[in-house]
Amino acid sequence: MKKIVSKKVLVPIIAIAFLFIGSSYKSDFFEIAKQIEIFTTLFKELNMNYVDETNPAELMDTAIKNMLNELDPYTKFLNEQDVETYRINNAGEYSGIGAMVRSFDDRLLIIEPHEGYPADKAGLKAGDELIQIGDIKVADFENNASELLKGANGSTVTVTYKRQGKLKTTSIIREGIEVDAVPFFKMIDNKTGYIVLAKFNAKATDQTKAALLDLKGKGAEKIILDLRDNPGGLLSEAINVTNLFVPKGELVVTTKSKVKKFNREYHTNNQPVDEEIPLVVLVNGSSASASEIVSGSLQDLDRAVIMGARSFGKGLVQRPLKLTYGTQLKVTISRYYTSSGRCIQSLDYWNRDESGNAVRNTTFNDFT
């Protein structure tokens, strides 16, 4: 039986078309409208006439992902589940089992069950391999199986896991989990405080400030801020964390885009906690985005010494744009520049070599 394209499927296409039309130059209007018309006609004819049954949703998902793959790895289509995950990561809280896990093709590995949370209460330990979650075998699940561990507060999930070659099963009652931006801080000697800032979610500034004040209260006369393996997060939190160490009114970062409204300068708005205490910032190859804003700007403002390995080099800013049916487009809207005008974007995704790989940006500024 032939399938006719649903109007519900075509609505998102039209919505995306208007989104791009609205933000593009007027001279592009005809070309965009032309290509959208060609695509919708092709999509309709393909679904109606292809020899085998087709799945319009899967075809569309593939088409969108392949289109975005031509741009940069940060511009992504988010379905409803992706949107919720994105919200959770930025908010710093979710409902689940409370454990750090690493995903492999056929299993999930428990890296650390957080003390006092459901996974810990159920007896899971670091090194346990999750083989099955509910009725679903991890090896058969195509997407990120760790998402199966999340669910409504108070709901129960049964997991089968392997420990030292033996299979075990346990039930875990999910709870609300707070994701700390600062999982660890301490005095490493009588005068030096050490703060690990793991991510720039909505808790980053408050928790970094609390850690800084606590360490100063214990006698810290110098601070090490560890941003190693911090992948970034909210731009606003990067600015506010920088503001903890520099005066009000300082330029932290500038964003530049082809769309005028996205061209902005971001300054510190608050009084600092301490603009004199000696500061060292640690970075490595996995320190990216917001981590590089903080590191680069503190260096530009002569406020900190940066130590470690070359950072990742992500100087692209994304913004989520709402589409239809609860989906979103997370799209790169601009590049950011540290206070001295340095762009740290290391790869140019618009220009690629013969193998299709992004070329190294000749204007890349490494600050380590």
Residues annotated as catalytic are: 289, 300, 314
Q: Which residue has the tokens 């379905």?
A: 79
Six token digits for residue 89: 């990561």
Six token digits for residue 280: 């060292």
A 10 A CB-CB count for 309 gives 12
Local structure of residue 245 (DSSP, 8 states): T
Q: Which residues contact 42 (CB under 8 A, 6 or more apart)?
A: none
Extended strands (E) in the chain: 76-78, 93-96, 99-103, 108-113, 129-133, 136-137, 156-163, 166-173, 175-178, 184-187, 192-196, 222-226, 251-256, 264-267, 279-283, 305-308, 316-322, 328-338, 347-352, 358-360
**Pairing mode, if any, of strands 175-178 and 93-96?**
antiparallel
CA–CA dist 339, 342 (Å, integer): 7
Local structure of residue 318 (DSSP, 8 states): E
Q: Which residue has the tokens 């083989």?
A: 131
CA dihedral sign of residues 30, 32, 38, 40: negative
Q: Closest Cα to residue 202, out of 292, 92, 287?
A: 92
**Pairing mode, if any, of strands 347-352 and 358-360?**
antiparallel
Six token digits for residue 327: 């989906």
Burial 180-206 (b: 16+ CB within 10 A, else e): bbbeebeeeeeebbbbbbbbbbbbbbe
Local structure of residue 6 (DSSP, 8 states): P
DSSP helix/strand/coil, 294: helix
